[in-house]
Structure 1
Amino acid sequence: MVEPGFCSAADSGHELADRVGMAMVRLNKMHAQVAHQMAKQGMDKASFILLATLAGMGPCRSSALAEAVLSDPSTISRQVAVLVKDGLVERRADPADGRASVLAATDAGLKLLKERRRLRNVAIARMFEEWEEADWKQFADLFERFVQDYETAIPNFMSEGGLGARTGGER
């Protein structure tokens, strides 16, 4: 039975979109479990994402970091303060404007990212042990393409109210 106010995937003609969407829900559920474990180890998921983004971008102003992660500068400021306190990020004078500062990952922050990446890669490789290498490569290629397209589309979806927006029937 379909819940009131919802169209079934078959009725909407979006069966594949529904399959992908539901797989994303399942991935988000698992990411929440990973985030919970990370928090137990002393780092929340949002801080880890900030640190990884900053390491990838290189030194930048907090406003650029906020834009890169599609977040509010005041939220970033609070999260960065914790990363600075923990010695994973440092503030440096902006070479272009000495009155301003830029954020940069510290050696300790980079070391943490490297170790987490190693552990993640070992775990993912174990998941694919039974896959043919060609299948794994094809999946990786298609998944990277999906993520890139999704990253490009998300800002538009959000501005159009297409994702995360409440509709009249939701509470």
Structure 2
Amino acid sequence: MSNPNNEIEQQLFTLLRRTFAIHVSTASGEYELERSAYGILCLIDDNGPQRLGQIAQAFNLDPSTITRQVQAVVKLGLADKVGDPSDRRATLLSLTAEGRDAVVRARAHRRKMLDLIMSDWSLEERETFARALRRFNNTVSEWIENDEIPPPD
């Protein structure tokens, strides 16, 4: 019997490619959100205003990379840098009203696409998939937080 991890690895890569292929835009198309912009906006929408270092850590990216991506969402008027009330030297990235609207619309569009893609899945199948995916993501997060991911051979 083959190792199921081989199939899981292949399917995760396929999921990654397919997810990247889905064009992220608001339903009415005012914004064409790149994957990085969409990710940053969703992170802030889900977790509230974030320091740039927190955003870099959440995406496991270099702060300079995040700085460029943050500048793009600020330039679009979707986010603002505001002073951190707990540390006057630091800034937080927060959504503007326009940014919150863009996230709501983009998420609604993506969820509608999921409804179409998974239209022949039962509710039980969707719930099972959601639970398994949540468990996988939580496990990966724990490994990252505990610095347990071994280097490549």
Number of equivalenced pairs: 147
| Deviation readout 1:66-108 (Å, 9 max, x if unpaired) | 1122111111111111111110110111112233321111111
TM-score norm. by structure 2 comes to 0.84
Paired-residue identity, %: 24
* 2:138 alignment partner, SS class: helix
Aligned to 1:99: 89
Q: Which amino acid aligns with 1:19?
A: E
| Deviation readout 1:32-75 (Å, 9 max, x if unpaired) | 312xx349963221121111112222112211221122111111
* 1:156 alignment partner, SS class: coil
TM-score norm. by structure 1 comes to 0.76
Q: What's the C-alpha RMSD, in Å, of the aligned pairs?
A: 2.2
Change (3 A) 1:136 1:100: closer
* 1:99 alignment partner, SS class: strand
Separation in structure 2 between the aligned mates of residue 31 and residue 133 of structure 1, nearest angstrom: 22
Separation in structure 1 between the aligned mates of residue 126 and residue 83 of structure 2, nearest angstrom: 44
**Structure possessing the higher radius of gyration over alpha carbons:** 1
| Deviation readout 1:122-157 (Å, 9 max, x if unpaired) | 111223322222222222222221222223234532
Separation in structure 2 between the aligned mates of residue 129 and residue 38 of structure 1, nearest angstrom: 20
Change (3 A) 1:137 1:99: closer
**Where has structure 1 moved over 6 Å in runs of 4 or more?**
none
Separation in structure 2 between the aligned mates of residue 80 and residue 53 of structure 1, nearest angstrom: 12
Flag structure 2 segments of 5+ consecutive residues without an equivalent. none
Query: Relative contact order: is structure 1 or structure 2 higher (C-alpha 8 Å, sep ≥ 6)?
Result: 2
More displaced 10-residue stretch of structure 1: 38-47 or 82-91:
38-47
